[in-house]
Amino acid sequence: MNFVLKNLGDFFLELKTKYKNIIVFNSLLKTELGLGTFASNHEDSYFDFANSINAMTKSVDAFVLRGKTPIIVSKASDLMYKSFGDIKNEIAYNNLNVKIFSFFPGFDRANYGSDCAVLDDVMLMRSIPNMRVFVPSHIMEFKKMVSMAMESFGPVYIRISEDLMDEGNLFSMGEIATYVDGKDILVYTMGSILADVLEVRKRFEAQFKTIKIVNVPVLKDLKDLDFLSFAKGFENIFSVEEHGIFGGLGDFLCEKIPSINKISVPDLFVDSASKIDLKKKYLLDCDGIYKQMNDFLKR
């Protein structure tokens, strides 16, 4: 895990100097994310709910009414499968100024059991009115997303994988941008799997083919013309994501570019195994993505 994520308490300390009204609500991640430094320095702005995640999501409205900005820190599996109703019907319905830091989505914690693989969170969060959905691919992007979330009013969901890259290109709110330019193949991607796509690009370069990579860090509030302009002139267009085939980036793009080829997790219950093993099994590591793209190109 990246140094910043392992020491999230230090990051929150820095954030607190600029945004005095933030309070942190944590469920079961104090030690793993190094939240102790923030908790010890701001006892009145830190609340540990242990395994009572429903109590946590039901408590935020009282703090919002007092002018506070709650930051919920929890595992994606708990947020989706224990608290989705509260997030939708209380936080989003009332347009509460709550920021949700969702850790370990995708295959990150699938080694604890297949029910800990979270491959539908983008679909679920996209379906909620008022909810913004951010998916960082690297730490610099994560930090910018947090700043943007704090500067805007309303609920925000940030999907945070444990293997975010250390650095990369940044983006502007409401826009997408070319991460790496190319002229033969177009790939849209989101999140930490960008690192694998960059490696795939090197393999195609050896075949004298170049890939244009477009990073999509925001899954709402984007202009349709952005996607159409990026896709102009490309016959082979792909989406690559560590998410289920329904409701994620691929479906989001299909609403705008019907000819896209989706590379994602198949429609099935995944095994309980390590992230490395699952990415290999479901062809979402560098080798698998390269194979799937080649198979599409041969059709």
Q: pLDDT tens across 11-63, in order?
A: 999 999 999 999 999 999 999 999 999 999 999 999 999 999 999 999 999 99
Residue type, 123: M
Which tens digits make up the pLDDT trace of 57-115? 999 999 999 999 999 999 999 999 999 999 999 999 999 999 999 999 999 999 999 99
Give kind and range of the element (H or E) at residue 251. helix 249-254
| Structure tokens given for 107 | 């295959």
For the chain, counts of helices (H) and of strands (E): 13, 11
- Dihedral angle over CA of 122, 127, 129, 133, nearest 10: 10
| Structure tokens given for 62 | 């009282």
Is the pTM here over 0.85, yes or no?
yes
All structural domains of the chain: 3-160 (3.40.50.970), 177-298 (3.40.50.920)
